[in-house]
């Protein structure tokens, strides 16, 4: 048999199309859940997806090179006057310890803060139930921080 005249086997139809990115799959899932996502960085390894839930803006962050790890974030700007740094750090640390899944992050200039819920997906896709649980934990952590700052600020200035 002459190998030069043998036709290559046809590719499966799936393989003919490039695979969808993790960010595209997550954006599709968020859209299916009714969140109306928007890709903020349409290309590259590090991706961000912005979406709203109950009037609050959230962000999904991921690295296409490590699609098993996803962070869902909720951030806020501090009102003027910005609370005392000691009060912010004390309240943020306490809330982070109690929330367990919400990691507190403070801008070095103390202009904003955010909570991040980090997920290890273990090979499975991000799903609506996971997103809803993260949103609940993030909202609760932000509410707790705000309440603590309202009571801690006067103590920090004393």
Question: Nearest-5° angle of CA 134, CA 137, CA 143?
Answer: 140
Residues 102, 96 contacting (CB under 8 angstroms): yes
pLDDT, position 43: 75
Distance of CA 130 to the CA centre of its chain: 11
Is it the case that residue 148 has pLDDT exceeding 50?
yes
Domains of the chain with bracketed CATH: 11-157 (3.30.1460.10)
- Predicted confidence (pLDDT) per residue in 13-69, tens digit: 444 345 789 999 999 999 999 999 999 876 788 999 999 998 899 999 999 999 899
**Residue 18, Cβ density class (10 Å: 0-12 exposed, 13-18 middle, ≥19 buried):** exposed
> Is pTM beyond 0.85 here?
no
Q: 104: part of which helix (H) or strand (E)? A: strand 102-106
- When pLDDT is averaged across residues 109-123 and rounded to a whole number, the result is 92
Cα–Cα distance measured from residue 10 to residue 147, given in angstroms and rounded to the nearest whole number: 63
| Amino acid 16: pLDDT | 37
**What pLDDT digit, counting tens, does each position of 56-92 carry?**
999 999 999 998 999 999 999 988 778 788 888 999 9
pLDDT of residue 84: 86
Preceding amide of 81 cis, omega within 30: yes
Of the given ranges (80-84, 93-97, 144-148), which has the lowest mean pLDDT?
80-84
User: How much is the average pLDDT of 82-105?
Assistant: 88
Locate 82 and state its tokens.
Answer: 């910005």
Lookup: tokens for 120: 């290890």
Handedness of CA 29, 32, 38, 43 (dihedral sign): positive
């Amino acid at each position: 048999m002459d190998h030069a005249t043998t036709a290559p086997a046809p590719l499966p139809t799936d393989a003919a199309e490039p695979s969808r990115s993790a960010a595209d799959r997550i954006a599709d899932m968020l859209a299916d859940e009714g969140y109306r996502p928007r890709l903020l960085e349409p290309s590259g390894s590090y991706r961000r997806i912005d979406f709203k839930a109950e009037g609050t803006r959230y962000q999904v962050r991921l690295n296409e090179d490590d699609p098993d790890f996803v962070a869902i974030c909720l951030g806020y700007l501090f009102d003027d006057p910005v609370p005392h740094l000691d009060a912010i750090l004390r309240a943020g640390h306490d809330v982070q310890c109690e929330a367990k899944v919400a990691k507190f992050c403070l801008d070095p200039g103390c202009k904003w803060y955010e909570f991040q819920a980090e997920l290890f997906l273990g090979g499975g896709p991000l799903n609506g139930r996971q997103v809803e649980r993260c949103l609940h934990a993030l909202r609760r952590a932000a509410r707790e921080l705000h309440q603590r700052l309202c009571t801690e600020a006067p103590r920090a200035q004393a």
